[in-house]
Amino acid sequence: MQLKNGLSYYQTILSEEYGFKDFVLSLVRDGFDNDLWEVKTKDNKFALRVGKRKLGQAIKFEVDLIKHLEKNKLNVPKIIQTLKKESFVLAKDDSALILFDFIEGKSLEVDPDHKPDLEIVHKAGTLLGNFHKYSLSFNSNIKRRSIFTEFERALVREKLIVKKLHGGEKFIKEVKEYIDWSKSSDFPKGIIHNDYQPANIMVDEKQNITMIDFDWASPGPFAKDVGLALALWSYPNKGEQHLKKHWDDVYEEFLNGYNLTAPQKFKNDRDLIKWINFGCLSDTATFLADLPEDDTKITEVTQCRRYLKFLYFDKIKN
């Protein structure tokens, strides 16, 4: 269930919990899982992230992870504490609000007409490798989603997906096959970002990059993170219609950067391609699990872009 409070409520939170007096609050991004607001005071700027789902104390996993990464000198957003020295505020509907230092720069735009600079790609791979390395020393007893959560959500709707969507039966079969395959695979595990796409890094004027958006982070095999990232960086949205093949140099540069800092190196082999497929299939499951039952526009599984990526890389695997 998605949630949303009013503007005046957020203003009250900033005044009472953070002690802000004179400030301007403006919406930067209205996202599916979160809204992002800019908070501008006389001397500073901050970013207020407002969740749309009931997370309760589970938000502490993400907060503790960000603090752990910051402690290890990774480029991540700095959390601003409340007057009571808390790192987040639970709203009246149990959604979470987190205030960050404002990151100067912009998120990376990548599409068939905007190929990313290979230096940035290399840095992005290196940053993910460091993220995985430092995640090995992160401990939390808070229950978090698993890499199978989205598949499980889709399987709950198996009958609807098979009945409603052309290709639904094939999709369900593929999901079950990849669940079985991944459970029998032995790959190094830690904490994964789970959504490391170009839009989730910020690039400043000096080409420094910062990793953002950790709300999907969870325990899991590093290969799932690397696989999905390779798909999203080398074969961007709309690439399914406008690119004959993925960008080999982007793919290789990201993997080379990652292997420089990662706790375990990955080869560009069949197993890695299967993890690419796993990630794309998992994102397809999210799309179908969230699809309203009365939606009449989506009639085929192939209308999901991530599924088209799955089909593309599946041909490479075979």
pLDDT in tens, 252-287: 999 999 999 999 999 999 999 999 999 999 999 999
Q: Please provide the average confidence, as pLDDT, over all residues in the chain.
A: 93
* Structural domain that includes position 43: 7-102
Q: CA 16, CA 218: separation in Å to the nearest integer?
A: 32
CA distance 107 to 213: 11
Could you report the per-residue pLDDT of 222-234, keeping only the tens digit for each? 999 999 999 999 9
Of 210, 201, 199, 191, the residue nearest 68 (C-alpha): 191
Closest by CA position to 258, among listed 222, 311, 304, 288: 222
Which residue reads 């992002």 in tokens? 36
Residue 186: band (very low, low, confident or very high) from pLDDT cuts 50, 70, 90: confident
Which tokens is 21 given? 């007096």
What average pLDDT does range 149-154 have in this prediction? 97
Kindly state whether residue 1 falls inside one of the protein's structural domains. no
28, 103 contact by CB (below 8 A):
no
Domain boundary among 102, 126, 148: 102
Average pLDDT over residues 31-59: 85
- Looking at the structure of the chain, the number of domains it has is 2
- Domain presence at residue 2: no
- Taking the CB of residue 102, how many other CB atoms lie within 10 A of it? 18
CATH number, residue 286: 3.90.1200.10
pTM of the full structure: 0.93
What pLDDT is stored for residue 57 in this prediction? 67
Reported confidence tier of residue 2, pLDDT bands at 50, 70, 90: very low
Q: Is residue 45 included in any domain, yes or no?
A: yes
Point out the domain boundary residue: 85, 102, 119.
Answer: 102
Q: What is the largest CA-CA distance in the chain?
A: 61
